[in-house]
């Protein structure tokens, strides 16, 4: 089978001359026809600080590609820095995926190495690779090393929430809070808790899309560069074998990712990302699969935000392979990786070097750790909760709704001493779904009212159609679908209604007769949010984004479109 790039470089005519001549720039004569052209889709950016080291990783990939007879090509792609991009990086995930997909298809490329790290970067790269279906392999950029403050390890994100709540509760001074800021980010790399970046890096491996044994390697660890070098060699082999995402990313590999997500206690954001990646391939994955496959998987990893340790500890303790080695019987035994061999065959003995960090199957942190999918008259299309991050006493709860129509409304009223709220109330935040915000921000772990914090309350039931940071925790019901701005019943809830959360029974309901709920009008703020004038990407996004329950992709990007070579323009 001729290489795809030969459609550009393989002829002796004027057009092939043009394609080769402009690309020579010192490349040897034999760098074109017959040699695999490998794009390095690189999300390095100074504005994505978690990925700013990826140029060095790319250099190692380049060496590996040359070693194996390929030609490496740097391809800077849209990068999303979680802490900087407004209104929320999630608004741009699909744009990054679309732009990367189009550039891979438009150029003389035979395969691609995907360099990501910060939350949305690996999902967008995998969505793109799935759609264009060229041989593709991920190098996760890796977590940062553990920073400490006053002798205590700091978890990125998680400890920001904890420390800021302590300031609000009056138990930490504002000066000490600011002092901790300089200690939080110790090295290159992404957040070091089991947040979204760590989760998606590890799940990229569980899906089979990394060189086995790579994910979770700290960004500052020189072994990451060695793995990047080997990955450069591997992608050349993958091109020869025509090993494409459609062969690697099967229903079995998504099963493996869901098992890993549960055993790791990974971020809830993985749900919406895995659904979107599966959608690009036509793999039938539904919200309920997360509950069905993951519910009985034990929680084995004691990492923040739910636990104690950080990513450097997980790597030291044996990493993903040690975790998966404990649940190997739950994995799909046939799902292959980018090596062409099944994931399960790569696990070997996979010893646990620190049982405090990685627990054995016989002594798990929790016997069941997956994502629980809730349904009911408040979430006809589903909602999710991560029981491992919730308070056990709140998993079954009935309380009076206190409703906020926007993040701004929340901030204006939540600390009002006169707000009619108590520890049993259910805080509802709506207008935060994909269409309503727009972009589905990580705001669902809404702060508790200051007067309750001061009274010692540390968790309450919260319900939202948005997402929650993977570094956050609490009894938070997320991704309520349909979202309020898209006509979901959440738009009709009023302060004072009774809401019942029943995680064991998998339900989320408002105690109203069907007829009364149907007859109510949605809150005006929900329809007003959609009517706001927009342009450009935001307009396209709001008009075409799907619900969280199907991955919040754009409806016209669902499904693979392949790597056909477009017509010549010269
Ligand atoms: Fe980039 Fe957390 S901000 S991974």
Residue 561 lies in a domain: no
Q: Atom 2 in ligand 1: which residue has the minimum CA distance?
A: 191
Is residue 553 within 6 Å of ligand 1 at its C-beta?
no
**Residue 48: what pLDDT?**
98
Is residue 119 within 6 Å of ligand 1 at its C-beta?
yes
Residue 386 lies in a domain: yes
Domain finish residue from 166, 184, 202: 184
- The terminus-to-terminus CA distance of the chain in angstroms comes to 25
Tens of pLDDT, residues 265-298: 999 999 999 999 999 999 999 999 999 999 889 9
Whether residues 110 and 172 fall in one domain: no
Residue 198 lies in a domain: yes
Task: Compute, in angstroms, the gap from residue 319 CA to the centroid of ligand 1.
Answer: 20
Whether residues 245 and 377 fall in one domain: no
Edge-first strand listing for the sheet containing 111-116: 71-76, 37-42, 111-116, 136-140
Residue ranges making up the domain that contains 403: 372-550
Task: Compute, in angstroms, the gap from residue 471 CA to the centroid of ligand 1.
Answer: 9
Task: Compute, in angstroms, the gap from residue 352 CA to the centroid of ligand 1.
Answer: 27
Cβ partners under 8 Å of residue 19, min gap 6: 8, 9, 32, 108
Whether residues 129 and 157 fall in one domain: no
Burial classification of residue 175, based on how many CB atoms lie within 10 Å of its CB (0-12 exposed, 13-18 middle, 19 or more buried): exposed
Residue 30 lies in a domain: no
Whether residues 410 and 486 fall in one domain: yes
Nearest to 477 by CA among 400, 404, 387, 567: 387
Domain finish residue from 165, 184, 203: 184
Atom of ligand 1 nearest to the CA of 196: 4
Most ligand 1 atoms within 8 A of CB, residue of 120, 143, 156, 202 to mutate: 156
Most ligand 1 atoms within 8 A of CB, residue of 83, 188, 267 to mutate: 83
CB 387, CB 372: distance < 8 Å: yes
Cβ partners under 8 Å of residue 551, min gap 6: 272, 273, 274, 275, 276, 277, 278, 279
Is residue 190 within 6 Å of ligand 1 at its C-beta?
yes
Q: Atom 3 in ligand 1: which residue has the minimum CA distance?
A: 82
Most ligand 1 atoms within 8 A of CB, residue of 52, 82, 141, 442 to mutate: 82
Q: Atom 1 in ligand 1: which residue has the minimum CA distance?
A: 118
Q: Nearest 10 degrees: CA dihedral of 248, 341, 319, 303?
A: 30
Task: Compute, in angstroms, the gap from residue 45 CA to the centroid of ligand 1.
Answer: 13
Atom of ligand 1 nearest to the CA of 190: 4
pLDDT in tens, the chain (570 residues): 899 999 999 999 999 999 999 999 999 999 998 999 999 999 999 999 999 999 999 999 999 999 999 999 999 999 999 999 999 999 999 999 999 999 999 999 999 999 999 999 999 999 999 999 999 999 999 999 999 988 889 998 888 888 888 888 888 899 999 988 888 999 999 999 999 999 999 999 999 999 999 999 999 999 999 999 999 999 999 999 999 999 999 999 999 999 999 999 999 999 999 999 999 999 999 999 999 999 889 999 999 888 899 999 999 999 999 999 999 999 999 999 999 999 999 998 899 999 999 999 999 999 888 899 999 999 999 999 988 788 999 999 999 999 999 999 999 999 999 999 999 999 999 999 999 999 999 999 999 999 999 899 999 999 999 999 877 779 999 999 999 999 999 999 999 999 999 999 999 999 999 999 999 999 999 988 888 889 999 999 999 999 999 999 999 999 888 999 999 877
Residue 359 lies in a domain: no
DSSP character for 389?
Answer: G
Most ligand 1 atoms within 8 A of CB, residue of 118, 185, 188, 269 to mutate: 118
Rounded distance, CA 233 to CA 536, Å? Answer: 40
Task: Compute, in angstroms, the gap from residue 185 CA to the centroid of ligand 1.
Answer: 10
Q: Percent of the chain, pLDDT > 90?
A: 86
Atom of ligand 1 nearest to the CA of 471: 2
Domain count of the fold of the chain: 3
Is residue 191 within 6 Å of ligand 1 at its C-beta?
yes
The CATH number of residue 302's host domain is 3.40.50.2300
Whether residues 138 and 196 fall in one domain: yes
The CATH number of residue 527's host domain is 3.50.30.80
Task: Compute, in angstroms, the gap from residue 111 CA to the centroid of ligand 1.
Answer: 27
3-state secondary structure 266-305: CCCHHHHHHHHHHHHHCCCCCHHHHHHHHCCCCECECECC
Rounded distance, CA 181 to CA 156, Å? Answer: 10
Task: Compute, in angstroms, the gap from residue 140 CA to the centroid of ligand 1.
Answer: 13
């Amino acid at each position: 089978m001729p290489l795809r790039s030969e459609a550009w470089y393989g002829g002796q005519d004027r057009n092939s001359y043009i394609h080769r001549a402009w690309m020579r720039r010192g490349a040897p004569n034999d760098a074109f026809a017959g040699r695999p052209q490998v794009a390095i889709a690189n999300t390095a950016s100074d504005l994505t600080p978690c990925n700013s080291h990826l140029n060095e990783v790319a250099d190692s990939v380049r060496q590996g590609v040359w070693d194996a007879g390929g030609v490496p090509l740097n391809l800077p792609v849209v990068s999303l820095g979680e802490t900087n991009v407004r209104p929320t990086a999630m608004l741009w995930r699909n744009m990054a995926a679309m732009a990367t997909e189009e550039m891979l298809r438009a150029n003389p490329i035979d395969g691609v190495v995907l360099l990501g790290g910060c939350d949305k970067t690996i999902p967008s790269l995998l969505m793109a690779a799935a759609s264009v279906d060229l041989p593709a392999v991920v190098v996760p950029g890796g977590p940062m090393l553990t920073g400490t403050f006053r002798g205590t390890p700091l978890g990125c994100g998680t400890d920001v929430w904890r420390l800021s709540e302590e300031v609000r509760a009056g138990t930490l001074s504002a000066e000490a809070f600011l002092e901790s800021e300089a200690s939080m980010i110790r090295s290159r790399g992404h957040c070091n808790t089991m947040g979204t970046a760590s989760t998606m890096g590890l799940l990229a491996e569980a899906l089979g899309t990394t060189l086995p044994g790579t994910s979770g390697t700290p960004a500052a660890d020189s072994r990451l560069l060695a793995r990047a070098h080997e990955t450069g060699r591997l992608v050349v082999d993958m091109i020869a074998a025509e090993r494409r995402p459609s062969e690697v990313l099967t229903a079995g590999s998504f099963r493996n990712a869901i098992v890993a997500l549960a055993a790791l206690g990974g971020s809830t954001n993985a749900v919406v990302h895995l659904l979107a990646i599966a959608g690009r391939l036509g793999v039938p994955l539904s919200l309920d699969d997360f509950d069905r496959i993951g519910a009985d998987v034990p929680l084995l990893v004691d990492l923040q935000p739910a636990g104690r340790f950080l990513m450097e500890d997980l790597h030291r303790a044996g990493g993903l392979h040690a975790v998966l080695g404990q649940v190997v019987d739950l994995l799909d035994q046939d799902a292959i990786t980018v090596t062409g061999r099944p994931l399960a065959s790569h696990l070997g003995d996979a010893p646990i070097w620190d049982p405090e960090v990685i627990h054995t199957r016989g002594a798990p942190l929790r016997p069941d750790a997956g994502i629980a999918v809730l349904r009911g008259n408040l979430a006809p299309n589903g909602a999710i909760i991560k029981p491992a991050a919730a308070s056990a006493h709140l998993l079954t709860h009935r309380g009076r709704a206190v409703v906020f129509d926007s993040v701004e409304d929340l901030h204006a009223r939540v600390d009002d001493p006169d707000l009619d709220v108590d520890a049993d109330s259910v805080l509802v935040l709506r207008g935060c779904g994909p269409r309503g915000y727009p972009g589905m921000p990580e705001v669902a772990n809404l702060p508790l009212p200051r007067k309750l914090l001061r009274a010692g309350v540390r968790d309450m039931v919260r319900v939202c159609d948005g997402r929650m940071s993977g570094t956050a925790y609490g009894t938070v019901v997320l991704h309520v679908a349909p979202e309020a701005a898209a006509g979901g019943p959440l738009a009709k809830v009023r302060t004072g209604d009774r809401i019942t959360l029943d995680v064991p029974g998998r339900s989320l309901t408002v105690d109203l007769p069907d007829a009364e709920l149907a007859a109510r009008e949605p809150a005006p703020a929900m329809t007003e949010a959609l009517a706001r004038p927009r342009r450009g990407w935001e307009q396209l996004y709001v008009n075409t984004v799907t619900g969280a329950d199907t991955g919040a992709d754009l409806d016209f990007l669902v499904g693979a479109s392949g790597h056909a070579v477009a017509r010549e323009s010269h």
